[in-house]
């Protein structure tokens, strides 16, 4: 991997690949993210869950560089990316996919992926070879037109394309949503393969199966910050997490007994 | 094969009338192909490209009028001015959505046109003239059409060759990515603003050359023929009709529209130019509504893959 | 003493004249800003809507002998219908397409309308024949053409009316809801397509009435559409894309600047100042006085 070096990168390489500290993001008067922290170590595969409107998309966009945090720092492999654009994040080694896949519809699968490949391979032939490898990895056909692909195909194309940028950290934004069970299993297998290639992964997801089977550690977002963190098994039993998802509808008067919520 | 046809055309059709049409086709194709780089490939729709054309036309004429410079010497100045203007416009507008850029191009072109019309130094509303007779080849002033035809053909060749080269390289891929989705392009590390700026600068340079060729041929330039909106419109419609974002689209558009314009002008006489532009407006609306990819796109949709032979 | 008072009077007259014209600018620009705010779309043919309004007014006067109130309403109604028709036949489709198609669509439409008008009405400048608004009136020491005064005042009222309609009425808030968040509006049972068609009708209608009002006080030709279109861009850029109230302030300011520039620098330069202001705005403050970028 090319060395994206700034002076800070010459510090002893910490294990933390990505560290977001006290990140907040305000839109006018509305505070979407409040003091969120996240630390990802090299080689981890982490899940980010939380109810809708909890701020995780905004936080995700801060990590990807699409949004600049109002306060806080984002440090990637020793490099301060807080103010960097999404181009800067990509060049530093962070790749991301989009919730609704954005493919270059007028171009073929091969050309789509080549756009990604050109980041580290400026010459066309190298880029093309690298792209072909990524396409093979994801099981696509290079000569197909992107607009002819269905949604699962587009999701795979996005993944192939961002992989071609040789990211060290991959941010997946609900990339596995809307798939049939067999497609989902293929997708999970693909993500595992990518992880085995050495890519650190952060997944935002709603699908429990993905979280339980793929991730080693889960962070739960609610109301703009992380309310719980731990293994998937531990987190789903956490009371604060349950309350976040089910809401405060069952707030009881102090003397009434608290029933056990047996749900996962 | 096409190249052969273009090369032989003036020999096969020696009449001045046909040769003149040929020269006009080439000139229009050059400016439309230049526009195509930023408007067709990168998707940044400039509707005021005449500003670059006019600069390229005025610079040689101005330096000839002031100091007797050979026309050819003014060409680099025109190019430099155009590129400078491109950077000045691109810097603020490329960080905003595409509509801002389009609006800015109209406004700046109009601004320059009106301003030029009031500035005596550049001839105000009367305009400037080039040399009546050539003092040497460097004045690019010839009797007869033939030299113009081959010079223009050579320049068109350069523009198309450059475009083809771009298509094959990273720059071209990045342009098309930007056109498709800037957001996705950014996430892949594409330097969007810088790439757009380079495309605009290159396009501006070629358009300025087209302007210089125009003043060399007609020997005259004024605010309307240099910076007028109709100059901008012609570039856009020619490229869009043939196929914006394709290599030969602009040439195809020129091959169709220039003879068409000549025909309607002669058919409708005095009211001709008005009707021509009604037609232009109508064609643009139809293209926008039904086939934004132009004739090349139409061809691709209608003719099945296997009949068309290999392509990238 | 007399000379000084006189030149002050002239300046005051210039200022008031500029503000009155600016009010009309505000009216038609509010239509443009409404469309931008709702659909992130720039209508390059908006100036032509104003121009058409002027010719509708002329036609009503010549063929039906209608007075100012009648021809203004006629212009507004005719353009309202035209706006909706254009939305349904053209805009709705290109909104789903590439940027090139979006920009070309109204740009081509502008050419079509402009040169059709040249063909139908010739390039000569025309003005309305004498009617109820002819003549001048003396107000606070300055002379003002009645037409200018009435046109400007009505324009301000209508612009405010549009603002109130959008912010206070049920239909208006539905329009704003679609502008704010299409999906959420759909979930609330609002039909975005209908609202967008309505917006186009209002936008064109405002332009049409503005044109009719302008026709009462100033001569015109088919070429004015291009100028008004650009002025609308400047007003919207200054006032903020999406803000009708912003258009009101900005329109008045632009009218004022234009009049003062014409007075100080000469008529030829007034457009240069205005367009130069536009370019400066794009450079320095694209979000304008009070709008979203």
Radius of gyration of chain A (CA): 20
Among the partner residues A87, A106, A122, nearest to B186 by beta-carbon distance: A87
Which ipTM did the prediction report?
0.86
Please say whether the beta carbons of A63 and A71 come within 8 A: no
Tell me the shortest Cα–Cα distance from B228 to chain C, in angstroms.
Answer: 12
* Residue B288 domain-assigned (yes or no): no
Selection from A108, A150, A158, A170 nearest residue A134 by Cα: A158
How many helices (H) does chain A have, and how many strands (E)?
Answer: 9, 10
What was the pLDDT predicted at B273? 59
Write out pLDDT tens, residues B228-256: 998 999 999 999 999 999 999 999 999 99
Q: Dmax over Cα atoms in chain B, in whole Å?
A: 61
User: What is the mean pLDDT, run by run of 10 residues, along chain C of 293 residues?
Assistant: 70 90 95 89 94 93 86 94 95 88 92 92 84 77 84 92 89 83 79 90 95 91 92 89 88 93 85 87 67 44
Write out pLDDT tens, residues A101-151: 999 998 999 999 999 999 999 999 999 999 999 999 998 999 999 989 988
Please say whether the beta carbons of B21 and B262 come within 8 A: yes
Dihedral (C-alpha) A245, A251, A256, A258: value to the nearest 10 degrees? 10
Q: Is there a contact between B292 and C276 if contact means CB atoms under 8 Å apart?
A: no
Task: Name the helix (H) or strand (E) containing A201.
Answer: strand A200-204
Please say whether the beta carbons of A50 and A221 come within 8 A: yes
Pick from C35, C91, C101, C104 the residue to mutate for testing the B interface (most B CBs within 10 Å). Answer: C104
Q: Is there a contact between A115 and B169 if contact means CB atoms under 8 Å apart?
A: no
What was the pLDDT predicted at C293? 40
Q: Is there a contact between B180 and A118 if contact means CB atoms under 8 Å apart?
A: no
Q: Is there a contact between C41 and B93 if contact means CB atoms under 8 Å apart?
A: no
Read off the CATH number of the domain in which A47 is found: 3.40.50.300
Check residue B123 and give left, alpha or beta (phi > 0: left; psi -120 to 50: alpha). Answer: left
Half-sphere exposure of C158 (CA within 13 A, CB side): 29
* Residue B94 domain-assigned (yes or no): yes
* Residue B218 domain-assigned (yes or no): yes
Contact A111/B at CB under 8 A: yes
* Residue B291 domain-assigned (yes or no): no
What was the pLDDT predicted at C3? 63
Q: How many CB atoms lie within 10 A of CB B152?
A: 25
pLDDT of B278 > 60? The answer is yes
Contact A119/B at CB under 8 A: yes
Range of the domain at B58: 2-228
Q: What is the pTM of this model?
A: 0.88
Q: How many domains does chain A have?
A: 1
Q: Is there a contact between C271 and B110 if contact means CB atoms under 8 Å apart?
A: yes
Q: Is there a contact between C108 and B47 if contact means CB atoms under 8 Å apart?
A: no
Selection from A84, A102, A101 nearest residue A92 by Cα: A84
Range of the domain at A215: 14-86+200-247
* Residue A53 domain-assigned (yes or no): yes
Q: Is there a contact between A122 and B187 if contact means CB atoms under 8 Å apart?
A: no
pLDDT of B105 > 90? The answer is yes
Write out pLDDT tens, residues C202-238: 999 999 999 999 998 889 999 999 999 999 989 988 8
* Residue B293 domain-assigned (yes or no): no
* Residue B118 domain-assigned (yes or no): yes
Contact B186/A at CB under 8 A: yes
Please say whether the beta carbons of A144 and A156 come within 8 A: no
Say whether A16 sits in a helix, a strand or coil.
strand
Which residue on chain B is closest to C228 by alpha carbon? B107
Half-sphere exposure of B211 (CA within 13 A, CB side): 38
Q: Tell me the sheet residues that pair with A169.
A: A94, A200
Tell me the shortest Cα–Cα distance from B104 to chain C, in angstroms.
Answer: 7
Please say whether the beta carbons of C21 and C255 come within 8 A: yes
Q: Is there a contact between B170 and A124 if contact means CB atoms under 8 Å apart?
A: yes
Q: Is there a contact between A90 and B188 if contact means CB atoms under 8 Å apart?
A: yes
pLDDT of A242 > 70? The answer is yes
- The answer for residues whose C-beta is within 8 angstroms of residue A64's C-beta and 6 or more apart is A86, A89, A94, A96, A171, B187
| CB contacts, 8 Å: B189 with chain A | 87, 90-91, 116, 119, 165
* Residue B251 domain-assigned (yes or no): no
* Residue B19 domain-assigned (yes or no): yes
What was the pLDDT predicted at C272? 87
Write out pLDDT tens, residues B132-155: 777 777 777 777 778 888 899 999
- DSSP annotation of C129: P
Say whether A116 sits in a helix, a strand or coil.
helix
Contact B190/A at CB under 8 A: yes
Query: Which tops the pLDDT comparison, B266 or C227?
Result: C227
| CA gap A212, B257 in Å, rounded | 63
Half-sphere exposure of B53 (CA within 13 A, CB side): 34
Write out pLDDT tens, residues A200-241: 999 998 888 888 888 999 988 888 888 888 888 888 787 777
What was the pLDDT predicted at B147? 85
Contact B181/A at CB under 8 A: yes
Dihedral (C-alpha) B203, B206, B210, B211: value to the nearest 10 degrees? 70
Q: How many domains does chain B have?
A: 1
| CB contacts, 8 Å: C237 with chain B | 103
| CA gap B48, B55 in Å, rounded | 12
What was the pLDDT predicted at C74? 93
- Confidence at B94, pLDDT banded by 50, 70, 90: confident
* Residue A20 domain-assigned (yes or no): yes
| CA gap C190, A232 in Å, rounded | 41
Q: How many CB pairs under 8 A join A and B?
A: 69
């Amino acid at each position: 991997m090319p060395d994206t070096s700034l002076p800070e990168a010459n510090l002893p390489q910490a294990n933390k690949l990505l560290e977001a500290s006290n990140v907040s993001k305000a839109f006018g008067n509305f505070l979407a993210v409040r003091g969120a922290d996240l630390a990802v170590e090299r080689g981890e595969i982490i899940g980010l869950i939380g109810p809708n409107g909890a701020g995780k998309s905004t936080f995700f966009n801060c990590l990807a560089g699409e949004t600049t945090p109002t306060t806080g720092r984002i440090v990637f492999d020793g490099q301060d990316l807080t103010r960097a654009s999404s181009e800067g994040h990509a060049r530093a080694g962070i790749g991301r996919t989009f919730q609704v896949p954005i493919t270059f519809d007028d171009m073929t699968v091969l050309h789509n992926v080549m756009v990604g490949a050109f980041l580290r391979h400026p010459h066309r032939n190298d880029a093309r070879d690298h792209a072909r490898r990524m396409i093979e990895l994801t099981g696509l056909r290079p000569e197909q037109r992107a607009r002819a692909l269905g949604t699962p195909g587009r999701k795979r194309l996005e993944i192939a394309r961002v992989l071609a940028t040789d990211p060290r950290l991959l941010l997946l934004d609900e990339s596995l949503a809307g798939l049939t069970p067999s497609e989902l299993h293929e997708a999970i297998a693909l993500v595992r393969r990518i992880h085995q290639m050495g890519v650190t992964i952060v997944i935002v997801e709603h699908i429990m199966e993905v979280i339980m089977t793929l991730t080693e550690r889960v962070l739960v977002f609610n109301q703009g910050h992380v309310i719980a963190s731990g293994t998937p098994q531990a987190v789903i039993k956490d009371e604060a997490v349950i309350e976040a998802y089910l809401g405060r509808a069952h707030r009881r008067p102090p003397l009434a007994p608290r029933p056990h919520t047996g749900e996962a | 094969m096409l190249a052969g046809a273009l090369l032989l055309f003036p020999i096969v059709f020696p009449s001045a009338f046909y040769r003149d049409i040929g020269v006009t086709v080439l000139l229009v194709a050059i400016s439309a192909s230049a526009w195509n780089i930023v408007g067709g490939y990168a998707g940044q729709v400039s509707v005021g490209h005449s500003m670059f054309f006019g600069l390229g036309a005025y610079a040689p004429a101005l330096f000839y009028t002031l100091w007797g410079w050979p026309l050819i010497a003014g060409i680099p100045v025109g190019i430099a001015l155009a590129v400078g203007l491109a950077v000045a416009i691109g810097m603020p507008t490329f960080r905003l959505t595409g509509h801002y850029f389009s609006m800015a191009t109209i406004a700046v072109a109009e601004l320059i046109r009106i301003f030029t019309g009031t500035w005596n130094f550049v001839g105000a509303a009367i305009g400037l003239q080039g040399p009546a007779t050539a003092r040497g080849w460097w004045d690019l002033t010839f009797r007869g059409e033939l030299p113009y035809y081959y010079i223009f053909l050579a320049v068109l060749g350069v523009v198309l060759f450059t475009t083809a080269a771009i298509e094959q390289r990273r720059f071209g891929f990045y342009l098309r990515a930007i056109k498709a989705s800037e957001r996705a392009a950014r996430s892949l590390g594409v330097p969007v603003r810088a790439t757009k700026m380079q495309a605009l600068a290159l396009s501006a340079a070629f358009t300025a050359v087209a302007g210089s060729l125009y003043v060399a041929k007609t020997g005259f330039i004024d605010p309307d023929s240099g910076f007028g909106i109709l100059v901008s419109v012609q570039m856009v419609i020619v490229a869009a009709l043939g196929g914006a974002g394709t290599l030969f689209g602009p040439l195809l558009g020129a091959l169709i529209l220039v003879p068409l314009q000549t025909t309607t002008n002669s058919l409708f006489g005095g009211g001709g130019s008005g009707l021509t532009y009604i037609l232009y407006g109508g064609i643009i609306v139809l293209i926008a509504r039904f086939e934004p990819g132009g004739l090349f796109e139409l061809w691709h949709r209608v003719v099945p893959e296997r009949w068309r032979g290999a392509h990238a | 003493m007399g000379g000084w008072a006189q030149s002050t009077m002239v300046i005051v007259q210039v200022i008031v004249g500029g503000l009155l014209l600016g009010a009309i600018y505000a009216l038609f620009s509010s239509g443009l800003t409404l469309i931008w705010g709702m659909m992130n779309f720039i209508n390059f043919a908006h100036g032509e809507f104003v121009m058409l309004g002027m010719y509708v007014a002329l036609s009503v006067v010549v063929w039906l002998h209608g007075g100012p109130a009648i021809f203004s309403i006629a212009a507004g109604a005719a353009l309202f219908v035209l706006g909706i028709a254009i939305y349904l036949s053209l805009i709705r489709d290109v909104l789903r397409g590439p940027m090139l198609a979006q920009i070309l669509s109204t740009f081509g439409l502008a050419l079509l309308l402009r040169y059709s008008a040249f063909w139908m009405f010739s390039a000569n400048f025309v003005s309305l024949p004498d009617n109820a608004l002819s003549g001048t009136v003396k107000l606070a020491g300055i002379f003002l053409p009645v037409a200018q005064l009435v046109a400007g005042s009505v324009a301000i009222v209508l612009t405010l009316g549009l603002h109130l309609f959008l912010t206070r009425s049920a239909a208006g808030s539905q329009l704003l809801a679609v502008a704010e968040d299409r999906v959420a509006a759909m979930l609330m049972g609002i039909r975005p397509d209908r609202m967008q068609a309505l917006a186009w009708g209002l936008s064109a209608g405002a332009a049409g009435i503005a044109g009719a009002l302008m026709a009462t006080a100033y001569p015109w030709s088919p070429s004015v559409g291009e100028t008004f279109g650009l002025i609308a861009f400047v007003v919207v850029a200054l006032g903020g894309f999406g803000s009708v109230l912003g258009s009101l302030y900005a329109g008045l300011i632009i009218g004022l600047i234009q009049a003062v520039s014409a007075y100080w620098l000469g008529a030829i330069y007034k457009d240069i100042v205005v367009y130069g202001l536009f370019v400066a705005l794009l450079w320095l403050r694209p979000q304008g006085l009070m709008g979203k970028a």
